[in-house]
Amino acid sequence: MNLILAIILLILMLYIDKNRGFKLFLGLIFNFIILIILFYLMALGLNPIICALIGCLLISYVILYFVNGENIKTKTAIKSVIVVILILSVLIFIMTNISRIAGFGEEAYEEINMFSYDVNIDFTNITIALILIGLIGVTVDAAIAISSALYEVYTNNKNLSKKELFKSGMNIGKDILCTSMNTLLFAFLSEFMTLVIWYYECNYSFIDIINSKTFASEIIKIMFSAIGCVSVIPITAYITSNTLIKNKKQMEEIA
């Protein structure tokens, strides 16, 4: 069944984009392999945060460079993603330690009770790594959307100043932000639906729910994804507009 779905996906990708459809499909496979290797290295005892940061860079490289090629758009996008990841890594580390969301909530005790707890893994670092991995998708998506749009704006009007380009990037970001926020919301609700039913069946009060480790963990993960989506917009707009103005001569030669 999985193979059939994969074939359908490949056919649709090739139908939409014959030139890059297959590369995009391979990119999905490569990113899946990267994640599997990443989780395996964490299980071996390597530092999960370092593994996650390296994995995020590799995934960004595959999404941007392997599929879209090396150009001004992908260079500015990956720079923006790196800046956002590095800035938020500090905030994620602080927030995770303060909120104590690492480990399993009481809802999972029955499922994991049969297993040994002696796994020699720092679940705080695991939680930070998972938030970083969840953050990469939305930031890369927003970054390449803004850099590509700004590139097209500038190629059609090279008289725009850096300030005007930045303003255009922010306007583009406002439109992207609306759809991205809704995508994050629906993804969160779809994953959280089973837990909501659990809370209802077990007669959890509102206070019990908001103090649940599982609920707090999911909320913090989705909030960091949203923060990443918002913060990458001005950063990408600034880096892209700055790069385009600096490379004006190169842009004129390409045109």
Q: What is the pLDDT of residues 175-226, one digit of tens each?
A: 788 777 777 777 777 767 777 777 777 777 777 777 777 777 777 888 888 8
Q: Decide if pLDDT at 1 tops 70.
A: no
Q: How many angstroms separate the CA atoms of 53 and 40, rounded?
A: 15
CA R_g for the chain: 21
Q: Decide if pLDDT at 254 tops 50.
A: no
How many C-beta atoms lie closer than 10 Å to residue 111's C-beta? 9
Whole-number pLDDT of residue 119? 60
Dihedral Cα 216, 218, 222, 225, nearest 10 deg: 100
The reply to whether the predicted model has a pTM over 0.95 is no
What share of the chain has pLDDT > 70, as a percent? 87
Whole-number pLDDT of residue 248? 64
- Residue 110 amino acid letter: E
Whole-number pLDDT of residue 12? 80
Whole-number pLDDT of residue 255? 46
Whole-number pLDDT of residue 114? 57
Give the residue-averaged pLDDT of 78-98.
Answer: 85
What integer best gives the mean pLDDT of the chain? Answer: 79
Q: How many angstroms separate the CA atoms of 40 and 250, rounded?
A: 44
Q: What is the pLDDT of residues 19-68, one digit of tens each?
A: 777 777 888 888 888 888 888 888 887 888 888 888 888 888 888 887 77
Question: How many Å from the N-terminal Cα to the C-terminal Cα in the chain?
Answer: 47
Band (235; pLDDT cuts 50, 70, 90): very high
Q: Decide if pLDDT at 101 tops 80.
A: no
Please tell me what DSSP assigns to residue 247: T
Q: What is the pLDDT of residues 129-151, one digit of tens each?
A: 888 888 887 888 888 888 888 88
| Exposure string over 208-245, b if 16+ CB within 10 A, otherwise e | eeeebbbbbbbbbbbebbbbbbbbbbebbbbbbbebbb
Q: Where are the domains of the chain?
A: 69-106+119-254
Q: What secondary structure does DSSP assign to 64-110, as a single string?
A: IIIHH-SSHHHHHHHHHHHHHHHHHHHHHHHHHHHHT--S--GGGHH
- Are residues 104 and 195 in contact, defined by beta-carbon separation less than 8 angstroms? no
C-alpha dist (Å) from residue 90 to 78, 101, 167, 178, 201: 19, 16, 28, 26, 38
